[in-house]
Amino acid sequence: MSNIINNQRYCQKKNKLLAISKYIKTKCSNDKIVMAAGPCLAKELINRSHTRTLFASAKISNAKYIKNILENEYYHPDVTQDINGAEICAAIKNIYATIIGSSFGQVGNLSKKKEDNYFNTSSGLFEQSLKEMKYITQKFKGKIDTAQGLAGAGDLYVSVLGGRNAKLGFYLGKGYLYKSIIKKQMRNVTVEGAELIKSSGTKILSIVGQKKLPLLKCLLKAIKGNRMLKIDWKQFTF
């Protein structure tokens, strides 16, 4: 298993992106594989905050079995057979959390008080991010509903509010270069979205198409090319 990214949700093997669940099936006969996705911050779950997640399995009965074991007064898992969509969303949401995290620095030169006026920018990036997540999910044989649900939009929302990917985006938005950030501001911090970009960003672009993924294209240049992050807003309305 090589280049495992996003907490071992997706891997790249022989230049082909492969879901971890499918990789496991090639190594053993066990087909009772269930993966969890969705907005679930560990510290909040430990504190028993109401939490909704998604259990995905090719056989819905397996997902329901795990749900019945773990569901309680504050933990409310849903189930789906769309394990392809759930796994791809669990990975790529880290890419787009990074992009949205850069919103503070992407407000534009005309704004006089960027620190007070970046929510419109963040919202615009969120909408485009979700659009690109749908394209990628569909291309990898997942369902649009999954990208719009807990594993996609839900997990993206949580990741933007707090997390390593959004923090990296903040520094990129401020104009710092990626290699400088990981040596100074985020030294010894693993950022899943950046690792995914470096290992599989070019491959995803080639599979889905650059015109459909302008944000991914911008972030790929910033991280893999170590350039300043520059977002071309005109590309959103192709």
pLDDT tens digits along 183-198: 999 999 999 999 999 9
Predicted local confidence at residue 238, as pLDDT: 56
Instruction: Please tell me the pTM assigned to this model.
Output: 0.88
Comparing 7-11, 57-61, 141-145, the range with the smallest average pLDDT is 7-11
Enter the tokens of residue 180.
């400088």
Residues 101/86, Cβ–Cβ less than 8 Å = no
134 vs 54: CA distance, rounded Å: 17
SS3 at position 161: helix
Residue 145's CB is within 10 A of a number of other CB atoms, namely: 14
Output the CA torsion sign for 102, 108, 112, 116. negative
CATH architecture observed for domain 21-237:
Orthogonal Bundle (1.10)
Comparing C-alpha atoms, which of 175, 179, 180, 178 is closest to residue 109?
175
* pLDDT > 70? residue 5: no
* pLDDT > 50? residue 3: no
The mean pLDDT value of the chain amounts to 89
Helix (H) or strand (E) holding 37: strand 35-37
Maximum distance among all alpha carbons in the chain?
Answer: 61
* pLDDT > 90? residue 218: yes
Enter the tokens of residue 49.
């905050």
The set of long-range contacts for 77-80, using a CB threshold of 8 Å and a minimum separation of 24, is 77/36, 77/52, 77/53, 78/38, 78/52, 78/53, 78/54, 78/149, 78/150, 79/54, 79/55, 80/54, 80/55, 80/56, 80/146
Phi (first) and psi of residue 51, to 5 degrees: -135, 130
Q: CA-based angle 154:139:191, to the nearest 5?
A: 50
